[in-house]
Structure 1
């Protein structure tokens, strides 16, 4: 029997391999075991060592009582570019008992974020409804302290984003905003899976609102995105023509998913929320929807419906495109075309209603944009309208450009600053690209001109844009709407929908934030 080969025992392995008592290959910047399991390695991010040690210590001690909350999940930096790794890592680390295992630096960070939230950030949610400031400043943190981990992490995530807008090069804040957002989404999703009841309906509603703020604010920090059609296909699905290259403007669908999520949570838990004085006050602080469904040119955005019936007639002769995950249309297999044609009357009707409703919301928001009315657009448009955006329908994109232009009225708010200019220019760039062909820009420019003019207007967000530029006098329109209001408050609208049985019956899954978070500026 040959003698055993000598070997040198190493103590230079990564912390995870040591904790698991397995051999580490000591490859930098990430060892093979960490790569295999898709988790962070302290070779790549030495600053996570303290958190890993804390997590290990927590795993060896009794878990935190269910009735108490660790205010904020452990801070861990993202692993690689994929934010899914962030979420996975946040879920994999046990939350330590804050009084025993959390490092002093971590506690100071959370104190800094909590101070930022109560002193500054909460006020930026209530710029149109100061009456709710005490709710966001005092009541919401108290609910988090009482045991709502997803609400606690959402508070810290939004505060970290706000501070990042002030000091964008602070790497600690970058890591904090990543980690707390991933943790809040994971906890929120888990809570929804367990079900909504009278004990968690309030906190789930408030968390959904904070997630909507997060999804909006993160757009400020994202690098320019791109979307590609897929290997070997062009916009028409022809494999013989070159595919569109990445680098084109990407629609921020996370906006719509998150704001629609607030609507879905409200509808699904209304039997509990209607008895909550906190939620009632938040809902009633919103501007009341007063929609005018006239489709003629007498309304400000009525021109966006020109030629709609001709477009619908064309759609009735063609099956609707099937949407892949990348968001660009693929051809429908012949076996499915007959089924699509059979459903076309319903699809045509839903398309018409989606366009008409979206225009009605734009017309209402255009009159009182300073009251935060434009933010109702992503929350109230129909699912069919979002599908039309996913199909890259020119009319839907022209409507989207007008919505983003309305945000110019809110340019003084940190989480909306510069949004109108960036997004309008991005949408219009699609019309001037090869995707729609050479005639699209010329055909749709009359419907895009107002949005471009507003997006490029030099406005600091303080006071109204002149009526001759905007197209209406904000305060005169506000007075007229208040005088003619006949439908009570926003609470009454939801109550009516609930009684009619029109409320959403199921909660959509939490939006996929991986691509969004991967685009953050580091």
Structure 2
């Protein structure tokens, strides 16, 4: 028998290659695999790659759900969250230097700041000239007052915007990752110290920019549905979008006592169309078919009555938001979906319940009309095709319900005729005017603020009133805040 052929194992390979279980060529300062894929290598920046490694968290045993890569889903701790609410935990990333050349670093910052104030700031708001002015003038001025994490967030988003034009620019890639890593580190540290009147505005704006970054980063993770065939792990749901946008909501819920008087935050919030949801289930709405058979599903999957209630509410509320946004998508209303769905709905996505996936596909179909926005470009097609790939074409129950998002996502332009879209654009302005008469987004938050206090006096045996509230998750966070404050008061009194 001939001797066995010797094989040299890669024992000093980079952590990314080890995680992917592939052979590393161990070339410094950047191995061949990381160079090929245009990603960071810990040979080059050890602290940065180590910072982006997620802490081990339990995954659902009933699912093979995949989250985004750590570079797009690393989020700071969310303020004042109920301990029973699971959230992804990541090590706080450390900022990495852009370059050893101080002059080059300064020139990069000037380039990014100029691009932000002249171009990027105009792309963050949708159909809101007032918000555009705030993002262009007021926000940078606030960042210059000492809110370093806000300044870094501006530069990170600006770098990502520039990178959308030149995806292979290594300097922009490093700048985007570096400034966002610095943002997350300082932002997380500030949240851990507590939100105050002096930092509430900066934290809100930073949370919004983190949400923008999380969304826009998705365009660099894969090119189109064709790339999915080359991925051994299949399609990965963009769960980081939900976590980042709900992080914005959490900051608002935790600091509304100060934000309600802000000349910066209130105009941004008020520029959003007022929620006008029909949660009764009595009317025939466009996405009502997504709720067909929901009772049988709930009984079949969940034995616990409390869990059944949460699941039913999660589906009903998500579909109600779809129906509302479907009528006024050009206003940016579909983006509200990410912040308003309940934590239970996100959990249903994580375990890949077919109904939750079908609802998500319809949501991404709504984003087709916003395809001209750079950080949403191609989202509808890419995500709808990815979700559809998780279904069997012979599935007679769910395949017909995917036809609308498929038809919309594959439409050749974002100017979709009303007969294909399923809504009359002529009534869009009338609906907006009617909603504004009932109060804007700030009015909704004010109402919720009053309900937060009232709910604390309700006995636990009373019927759950959350099915009539748009912000299920925000209310949970508010309850945790109130419990914490009550505990602190009791502790203080005892002393």
Length-normalised TM-score, structure 1: 0.69
Q: Which contiguous aligned blocks of 4+ residues in structure 1 show a shift greater than 4 angstroms?
A: 27-30, 76-83, 85-90, 92-96
Please give the residue correspondences for 1:402-441 in structure 2 after superposition, counting only pairs within 5 Å: 402-432=362-392, 441=395
Residue in 2 that maps onto 1:356: 316
1:452 aligns with 2:406: yes
Q: 1:283 aligns with which of 269, 277, 285?
A: 269
Residue in 2 that maps onto 1:246: 232
Residue in 2 that maps onto 1:241: none
Distance in structure 2 (CA, Å) of the matches to 1:484 and 1:44: 57
Residue in 1 that maps onto 2:94: 91
The answer to whether the 8 Å contact 1:77/1:179 transfers is no
Distance in structure 1 (CA, Å) of the matches to 2:266 and 2:302: 43
Displacement of 1:198 in angstroms is 0.6
Residue in 2 that maps onto 1:118: 117
Which structure 1 residue ranges, 5 or more long, are not aligned? 1-26, 31-40, 47-75, 227-244, 318-343, 433-437, 508-522
Please give the residue correspondences for 1:112-191 in structure 2 after superposition, counting only pairs within 5 Å: 112-191=111-190
Please give the residue correspondences for 1:32-431 in structure 2 after superposition, counting only pairs within 5 Å: 43-44=28-29, 78-79=45-46, 84=52, 91=94, 103-223=102-222, 246-295=232-281, 298-317=284-303, 344-431=304-391
1:162-216 deviation line (CA, Å, top 9, x unaligned): 0001111211001111111111111111110111101100000000000000000
Which structure 2 residue ranges, 5 or more long, are not aligned? 1-10, 15-25, 32-42, 54-70, 75-90, 226-230, 453-474, 482-495
Distance in structure 2 (CA, Å) of the matches to 1:486 and 1:288: 9
Distance 1:475 1:170, change over 3 A: farther
Distance 1:147 1:94, change over 3 A: farther
Distance in structure 1 (CA, Å) of the matches to 2:354 and 2:116: 40
Count of residues paired in the alignment:
386
Displacement of 1:468 in angstroms is 0.9
Q: Which stretch has the larger CA shift, 187-196 or 472-481?
A: 472-481
1:499 aligns with 2:450: yes
The answer to whether the 8 Å contact 1:368/1:475 transfers is no
1:131-182 deviation line (CA, Å, top 9, x unaligned): 1112101111111111111101110110000000111121100111111111
Match of 2:279, SS state, is coil
Displacement of 1:91 in angstroms is 2.5
1:275-308 deviation line (CA, Å, top 9, x unaligned): 2111111110111111112435720000000001
Distance 1:90 1:504, change over 3 A: closer
Displacement of 1:257 in angstroms is 0.2
- Structure with larger Rg: 1
Distance in structure 2 (CA, Å) of the matches to 1:92 and 1:186: 7
Distance in structure 1 (CA, Å) of the matches to 2:371 and 2:95: 39
Q: Aligned Cα RMSD in Å?
A: 3.0
